[in-house]
């Protein structure tokens, strides 16, 4: 049995994904799996539990008539009739007629005063999945705009996928991209999810937990990201109840008991604040609020607290008319109670990324209890409740965007940018999840522009937020005028300057610390592109070398012959053929012979005995297309040979490498002659073995000499040879064979060093 008295709960473990349950609606799924978000804190005071009243057309019509003209109400009713016919004979798991669900979703949308097309789409959102109707049918009857909205809300049930996870990820991607084009898609989807969560009790426990986890990870964060805070908090609390029903009930009872115990204290604070605001002639409304149960639960887990140790479960909100009055009210509060140092946040001057604005301060109330206050205008309150729904993004082009619209539009555009960089739906969803952080840090460019990033973001995330090329070419950075590593975490108020080099490329290690989905997508796209271009270039060079064996010049071959040769080899294009050769998936000599057979004046049998071609030149800048074997660590100046490994490109070995000698006997056709190009730059790995007297400080002396010789230590291991001797194994980076020889000479000068060998 769950307990809430102390630490030890693993609150956010993923639940197993059971097979979808069937309902009585002709065997189809009913409570549809949907998206997922993260964590939260502030909630409305004394939230009502569930709303189990079954929605009807009459109640929907009353709400529609409150703000839509009669002609539009008739259009919505027409959509209702179509949906009612499509869902005829279908029932929800709870036993209610299935049409009650679309009506309830449309009713939630009326709370945002969505337009006619959105309400029609809300009523029709399950029609494509659960009936024989097609998108074309909807477009002909209700118009293309409604059909597009419904299509964006529909899952990909009729396509075969390798796994349920892939199907779900592809459906999420489809919905999010539809949302990026029209934000009404996600508003309808969130309304759908809210109603499903309110009626989740009828679903079996395993599926209930899966849907709740999905809601916590994707849908709630999306609601928060769009500024729909009321629905964000409701989704989190409903998910908490579905995932941990016993813990929810215990915590809810504790909250109700605490509310009664602290009523006198809260009433006293409320009266004091109202009196002091009145004395300052400041018209304002003061409301009590309490923390969301999910937020309290997470706080208990993260800080190992019992419920009685969570003191700040209540707070107050003050609503005034103007921004100036917000700051006056703040002064009144600080004059009434002492503020807690470091607990003041000004989200009016620097709004959150979802447009949220407010002043937050924590004061020490009576009996030493910390009390949080939020101060905002009525307009800020409207935006906090309705978010992007308060201002439409699909308004007329000649109207100006609000600041919230601009931020939302930028985020939606970033989804499209991420989509262009990722081909896999699972990877796309991973990037989007990373981007759905509820908190943010605010940093400045050297010119004073503010940029908001997820908490924990690094310099590389900042660089990609400025421009893709700034991120790709970043080599160093300064934060607050001080040099810092690119992986440095940023904090509020940091001034960040990124130093770039046009010849620089993204480092795969960056993926280990970047926090934004855009950064991850851009880095992976750049690495894939670099590998592709490098492999194509290497494959072209290998192909030309193989042609020279047949006394054929690449310049003599026309494009049509090359393309035909590529098709005969099973490649779609010549570029794909070169890439496969560069990656070692195809052998250049075999392709060259295929091309030779296509040339009328080159009998294949006569072209096979020819002089040796020029070897492949390695410049050291080929990136992932050319790799250096770790069995022998070749250096510029060594005699080398290349091995084409399938999918790995060209792997260099020293000519005297024992491993290479054995492999060359087995598949000689995959080995090519290699030479180092002039003017090699950069550092290359090499192994050295240093035998030393086992004395105090000898390791430090050797390491210091390696650094003084302009080499870099990558790895070090130490083992005892006997009682008096020790063996130090180093992996070092040196420029070339000459640099290594100089390093070895420098190490041999020490009296403690007995022997130095290259390994």
- For 398, 436, 470, the CA distances from 463, given in Å and listed in that order, are 32, 19, 6
Cα–Cα distance for residue pair 315/633, rounded to 1 Å: 64
Q: Report angle CA 660, 665, 668 to the nearest 5 degrees.
A: 90
Cα–Cα distance for residue pair 521/471, rounded to 1 Å: 12
Helix (H, G, I), strand (E, B) or coil at 752: coil
Nearest alpha-carbon partner for 336 in 361, 354, 356, 319: 361
Cα–Cα distance for residue pair 502/112, rounded to 1 Å: 49
Nearest alpha-carbon partner for 642 in 417, 625, 312: 625
Tokens 């607290």 appear where?
A: 305
- Please count the residues of the chain: 759
Tokens 């908090």 appear where?
A: 233
Cα–Cα distance for residue pair 624/641, rounded to 1 Å: 17
Cα–Cα distance for residue pair 190/196, rounded to 1 Å: 10
Could you tell me if 565 and 594 are in contact, meaning their C-beta atoms sit under 8 angstroms apart? yes
- Sequence-separated (6 or more) residues with CB below 8 Å from residue 665: none
End-to-end Cα separation, the chain, in angstroms: 60
User: DSSP characters for 616-632?
Assistant: EEE-S--GGGEEE-TTT
Tokens 């810092």 appear where?
A: 484
Q: Report angle CA 655, 656, 658 to the nearest 5 degrees.
A: 115
Looking at residue 91, what DSSP letter applies?
A: B
Q: Do the bridges between strand 42-43 and strand 314-320 make them parallel or antiparallel, or are there none, so unpaired? A: unpaired
Burial class (CB in 10 A: 0-12, 13-18, 19+), 609: exposed
Nearest alpha-carbon partner for 316 in 356, 245, 267, 355: 267
Annotation says 129 is catalytic: yes
Could you tell me if 571 and 577 are in contact, meaning their C-beta atoms sit under 8 angstroms apart? yes
Cα–Cα distance for residue pair 702/697, rounded to 1 Å: 9
Half-sphere exposure of 620 (CA within 13 A, CB side): 16
Q: How far is CA 658 from the centre of its chain?
A: 45
3-state helix vs strand vs coil in the chain, percent to 5: 50, 15, 35
The beta-carbon contacts of 448-455 under 8 Å, at least 24 apart in sequence, are 450/350, 452/352, 452/353, 453/490, 453/515, 453/516, 454/515, 454/516
Q: Give the active site residue among 39, 107, 129, 522.
A: 129
Helix residue ranges, H only, 337-467: 378-386, 403-421, 425-435, 459-466
Cα–Cα distance for residue pair 412/400, rounded to 1 Å: 18
Q: Give the active site residue among 35, 38, 130, 579.
A: 130
- Sequence-separated (6 or more) residues with CB below 8 Å from residue 121: 146, 149, 150, 153, 184, 188
Tokens of 177: 């991209």
Annotation says 137 is catalytic: no
Cα–Cα distance for residue pair 552/505, rounded to 1 Å: 36
Could you tell me if 280 and 326 are in contact, meaning their C-beta atoms sit under 8 angstroms apart? no
Handedness of CA 163, 168, 171, 173 (dihedral sign): negative
Residues catalogued as catalytic: 129-130
């Amino acid at each position: 049995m769950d307990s809430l008295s102390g630490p030890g709960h693993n609150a956010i473990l993923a639940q197993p994904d059971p097979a979808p349950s069937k309902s009585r609606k002709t065997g189809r799924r009913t409570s549809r799996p949907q998206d997922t978000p993260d964590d939260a804190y502030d909630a409305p005071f004394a939230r009502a539990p569930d709303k189990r009243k079954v929605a009807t057309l009459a109640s929907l019509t009353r709400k529609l008539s409150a703000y839509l003209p009669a002609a539009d109400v008739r259009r919505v009713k027409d959509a209702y009739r179509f949906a009612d016919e499509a869902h005829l004979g279908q029932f929800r798991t709870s036993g209610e007629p299935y049409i009650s669900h679309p009506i309830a979703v449309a009713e939630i949308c009326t709370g945002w005063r969505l337009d006619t097309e959105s309400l029609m789409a809300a009523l029709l959102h399950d029609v494509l999945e659960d009936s024989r109707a097609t998108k074309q049918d909807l477009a002909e009857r209700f118009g293309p705009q409604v059909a597009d909205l419904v299509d964006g809300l529909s899952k990909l049930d009729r396509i075969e996928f390798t796994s349920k996870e892939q199907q779900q990820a592809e459906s999420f991607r489809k919905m999010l991209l539809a949302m990026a084009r029209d934000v009404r898609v996600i508003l309808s989807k969130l309304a759908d999810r809210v109603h499903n969560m309110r009626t989740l009790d009828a679903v079996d426990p395993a599926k209930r937990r899966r849907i709740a986890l999905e809601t916590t990870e994707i849908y709630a964060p999306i609601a928060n990201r769009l500024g729909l805070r009321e629905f964000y908090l409701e989704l989190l609390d409903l998910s908490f109840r579905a995932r941990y029903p016993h813990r929810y009930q215990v915590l809810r009872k504790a909250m109700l008991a605490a509310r009664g115990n602290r009523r006198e204290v809260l009433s006293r604070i409320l009266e004091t604040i109202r009196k002091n605001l009145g004395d300052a002639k400041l018209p304002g409304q003061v409301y009590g609020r309490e923390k969301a149960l999910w937020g309290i639960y997470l706080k208990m887990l993260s800080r190992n607290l019992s419920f009685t140790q969570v003191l700040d479960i209540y707070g107050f909100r003050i609503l005034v008319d103007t921004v100036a009055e917000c700051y006056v009210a703040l002064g009144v509060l600080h004059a009434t109670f002492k503020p807690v140092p470091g607990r003041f946040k000004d989200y009016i001057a620097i709004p959150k990324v979802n447009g949220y604005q407010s002043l937050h301060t924590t004061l020490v109330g009576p009996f030493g209890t910390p009390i949080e206050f939020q101060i905002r205008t009525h307009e800020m309150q409207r935006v906090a409740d309705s978010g992007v729904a308060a201002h439409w993004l699909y308004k007329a082009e000649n109207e100006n965007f609000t600041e919230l619209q601009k931020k939302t539009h930028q985020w939606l555009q970033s989804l499209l940018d991420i989509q262009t960089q990722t081909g896999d739906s699972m990877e796309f969803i991973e990037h989007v999840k990373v981007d759905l952080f509820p908190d943010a840090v605010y940093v400045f460019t050297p010119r004073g522009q503010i940029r908001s990033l997820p908490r924990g973001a690094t310099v590389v995330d900042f660089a990609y937020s400025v421009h893709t090329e700034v991120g790709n070419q970043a080599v160093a950075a300064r934060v607050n005028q001080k040099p810092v590593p690119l992986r440095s975490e940023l904090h509020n108020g940091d001034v960040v300057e990124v130093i770039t080099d046009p010849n620089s490329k993204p480092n795969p290690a960056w993926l280990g610390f970047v926090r934004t989905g855009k950064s991850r997508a851009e880095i992976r796209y750049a690495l894939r592109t670099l590998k592709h271009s490098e492999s194509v270039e290497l494959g072209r060079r290998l192909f030309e070398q193989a042609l020279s064996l047949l006394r054929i010049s690449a310049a003599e071959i026309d494009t049509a012959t090359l393309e035909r040769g590529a098709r005969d080899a099973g490649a779609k294009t010549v570029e794909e053929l070169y890439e496969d050769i560069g990656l070692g998936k195809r052998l250049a000599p075999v392709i060259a012979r295929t091309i030779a057979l296509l040339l009328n004046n080159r009998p294949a049998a006569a072209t096979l005995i020819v002089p040796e071609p020029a070897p492949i030149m390695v410049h050291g800048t080929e990136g992932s297309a050319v790799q250096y074997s770790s069995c022998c660590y070749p250096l510029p100046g060594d005699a080398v040979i290349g091995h084409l490994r399938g999918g790995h490109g060209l792997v260099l070995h020293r000519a005297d490498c024992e491993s290479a000698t054995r492999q060359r006997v087995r598949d000689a056709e995959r080995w090519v002659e290699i030479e180092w190009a002039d003017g090699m730059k950069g550092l290359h790995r090499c192994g050295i073995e240093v035998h030393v007297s086992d004395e105090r400080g000898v390791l430090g002396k050797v390491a210091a000499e390696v650094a003084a010789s302009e080499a870099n230590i990558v790895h070090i291991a130490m083992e005892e040879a006997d009682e008096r001797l020790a063996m130090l194994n180093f992996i070092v980076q040196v420029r070339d064979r000459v640099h290594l020889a100089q390093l070895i000479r420098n190490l041999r000068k020490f009296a403690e060093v007995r022997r130095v060998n290259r390994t």
